[in-house]
Chain A
C-alpha cells in the first residue's frame, strides 16, 4: 500500500515548526505537518522578543528569517510591527513589561515609554483578570523603570449569555460571530476612550477575527488598543495560531492535526518514515527530509543520543555523529541539548528550512 509522501515533514506546529513550513513552502517544497495541540501559542501573544543579540550572531539569516515570517503573518492577515533594532516595552497581564522587537498589531501600541494615559480595562464578573491589580503593578514597574505611561484601572459591564459564566472565551467567541456583541463592546469602551489615549484589555478580539475587523473596531472607537494575552488558553495566541494555520493550508501545506508521531524509523543513518498514532492503525508518512519542532515539553522522539546539532541543525551524538542525514531539529527542542544557545524559533525554523533546500 502506498503512503503519503512529502518533500518535507514537520512535526509540531509551534512558532518554530510554522516558520520551517513557511520557509519550505516559499521554496516550492511539498510539505506535511503532524501536530497535536496549539503549542506554546496557548501561553503567549505572539510577540518576538528582543532580537539584538541574535541579530549580531547571524545578521544575514536573521534578517531574511524575520522578513519571511513577517511577510507571511501579513498575508495571514495578522501583521506584525517593529524592527530588529528596536526594543519596545509592552505590558503583560501580570503587570510587568516585556522587551520586544516585534509584536502583532493588536499588542504593539502598548508602548510604555510614551507619556500617555492608559486605561487598563477589566470586565465585571470575569474573575481571571483584575484591572486594579494590573494597573497598580504597571504603575509601580513603570516608575521603577522610568517609563512614562500612567495606568488607570477601569471596569466595563458586558452582557453574558443566559445561564453562562462570564469568561474571556465567551466574549472572544461572540466578538467573532455576533455583530451585536461587537456594538455592545464599542458602546462599553466609548466613555473610556474619551479620557484615555490607550485602552489595555485582556484577550477579547476573537479566535478567528482578522486584522481588518479589529482595525475597524479600533478606528470606530477612535482610541489605540492593546490586547494582552489572558491566562491560558491565550485568546490572541490562539487567534494567531488559527490564522497562520489557515494561511499555510491555503498555500498547500497538508496538516495531520490531532495525532502524535509515535515513532521515527531511522535505518543506516537515514530517517525513512514516521508512524502517526491514528485510530485503529498507524499512519505511515514518507518524506525526503524531516524537521522535529516538538518543543521542550514533549517526549523526545530521538532518544538520549541527541547531544547537540551540527551547522545544518541536524541532531548529532556526543561523538559528533549525525543521527540521520535528513533529520533536523529546531526551536525549543534545542533547549534541552548541548551548549547550543541559538534556539530562537523563527531563526532555527528558517535555517532548517533553508538547509533542506540547499542540501537537496
Chain B
C-alpha cells in the first residue's frame, strides 16, 4: 500500500514541487498519475522509492515510513517496489537474460532461484526467444519489456513506471500498457505516470491528476482531465 498524508516537497534550490499531497493506493490497484510537465509526478515517484525525503507530511510504502526510514532499510524497501523508466536503463554489455538475472543476483538470490525465475519472467513479457541478445539488438518496445521483466523479477508487490511509453509509438505503447495491466491482474500494485490521454482513457483505471504540486482530481473512471481545465 502507498499512502501520502499532506506531503510537501521543497527542493534545496527553493522549488516547491509538492504543496500538500494526500492519496492512498491500495494493494492490487492499477492507478494512473497524470499532470502537466513540472507538476510533481517524478517527485512523487522519488518519494516512494526513498530517493528523496518529504519536507513535511508522511509517506508510507509497503510497511515502511519513508519520512523516517533509516538509510540501511532503503534497499529492503526497494525490493518491494519495482521501477520502470522511460529510458529503460538497461546494461548493454549484458545479455537480455543477464540483465534480468543481475537484478536477482545483486539482492542475494540463489543460482537455482535465478535459473527458475528468469525464464518465467522473460516468457511473461514475451522475450523468451531473445534471451541471448543484447539490449541494443532489441526494438524500443522490446527494451521496455526487458526493463519491465527486470522490475518484476524480484517479485515486488508494487511496480512504478515513470512514463514507460514515452519513447514508443502508439501501437507499442498500447502493448506495453496491456502488459502492465496483465501484471496487475496477477496481483501487483501498479502506479503508472503517463502523458498519453488516449491510453488512459482506453484502460479505464483510477486516474490521479496532479497540477502544480497539488492533486486536482482523483477519479475511478479513466477520465483524463487536466487538458480540459
Q: Is the A/B pair a real complex?
A: no
Chain A interface (Cβ < 8 Å from any Cβ of B):
none
